[in-house]
Amino acid sequence: MKRREFLTAASLAGIAGMSSLAAAAEGEDGKQEYFEFRKYRLHVGSKKRLLGDFLRKVGIPAMNRIGIGPVGVFNAMYGPSSPTLYVLLVHKSLDTVMNSASLLMADKEYRKAGAEFINTPLSEPTYVRMESSLMVAFKDMPKLEAPEKGKRIFELRTYESHSIKAAKKKIEMFNEGGEIAIFKKTGLQPVFFGETLIGPKMPNLIYMLVFENMADRDKKWGIFGGSPEWKKLRANTAYKDTVSNITDIILRPASYSQI
């Protein structure tokens, strides 16, 4: 293939990819939300609290003003041991996904109240690094369902698949196969289900459940595992070998978390 032909093909592939992303994100009825899950690696010592304080006082109110919300902020209860803050942003449209940085910087109140954090010098960064994943909600649970406030923990599960076909089949198992319905029937309380559109370890799906505590978690998973409906669905060969790896993290919400 000649260089010009290669570049043209690559450009067309990129356009097609963006079109597919937009189509997937919009969903069949245009009502599916998008979930942006951020993982901030923090400094140790006194600088560890800088990001959380900024989000609580300035960042979350500003994000709410531009249409992002609710915003969840979590610390790992069981998971990676390095100082990390997990942030979940709920987007109603692709506009805030693509333009949140510009919209926030156009907010005078945000710039004024957060000046010290926003204008931090190169020599004094407020956090080490941030990674982000973008998901579109499953069609059978198109919106995040925030639990009531109170003592609670969250379980974040990531299901990786060995191929796109397998990943789509696992999503089908949750939707058309009825796994989401079995979750709810057996007492498991989902917060969201999302198909990762952009992020690490693709293809994968991510979902979150809420529990009162670890004893409540263990009890409800036990009920689910013993469900005749789940055993029947799990035995369906159409859904065999759709998940190659599972990552499980238990999170505790920050006091100011909106989820």
Name the domain count of the chain. Answer: 1
Range of the domain at 124: 31-253
**Predicted TM-score (pTM) of this structure:** 0.86
Residue that is written with structure tokens 């999503």 in the block: 171
Mean pLDDT, residues 209-238 taken together? 98
213's tokens: 């505590």
The answer to the question of residue 110 being in a domain is yes
The answer to the question of residue 50 being in a domain is yes
pLDDT number for residue 30: 61
Maximum C-alpha span of the chain: 63
pLDDT number for residue 28: 43
Residue 16, Cβ density class (10 Å: 0-12 exposed, 13-18 middle, ≥19 buried): exposed
Of 23-32, 131-140, 166-175, 241-250, the least confident:
23-32
Query: At 37, which CATH number?
Result: 3.30.70.100
Coil, strand or helix at 225:
helix
Question: According to DSSP H, which parts of the chain are helical?
Answer: 3-26, 50-54, 60-65, 94-105, 108-113, 115-118, 164-174, 179-185, 214-225, 228-234
pLDDT number for residue 41: 95
| Closest to 188 (Cα-Cα) out of 174, 167, 177, 205 | 174
Q: Are 41 and 128 in contact (CB under 8 A)?
A: yes
Within 10 A of 117 (CB to CB), how many other CB atoms are there? 17
The answer to the question of residue 17 being in a domain is no
The answer to the question of residue 207 being in a domain is yes
- Report residue 157 CA to chain centroid gap: 10
Q: How far is CA 137 from CA 70, 127, 245, 259, in A?
A: 15, 29, 21, 16
Which pLDDT band holds residue 3 (cuts at 50, 70, 90)?
Answer: very low
The answer to the question of residue 139 being in a domain is yes
The answer to the question of residue 14 being in a domain is no
Coil, strand or helix at 223:
helix
| Closest to 22 (Cα-Cα) out of 89, 98, 132, 88 | 98
The answer to the question of residue 165 being in a domain is yes
Distance of alpha carbon 123 from alpha carbon 210, whole angstroms: 39
What does residue 28 show for φ and ψ, rounded to 5 degrees? -65, -35
pLDDT number for residue 21: 52
The answer to the question of residue 150 being in a domain is yes
Q: How far is CA 35 from CA 71, 81, 107, 195, in A?
A: 10, 24, 22, 9
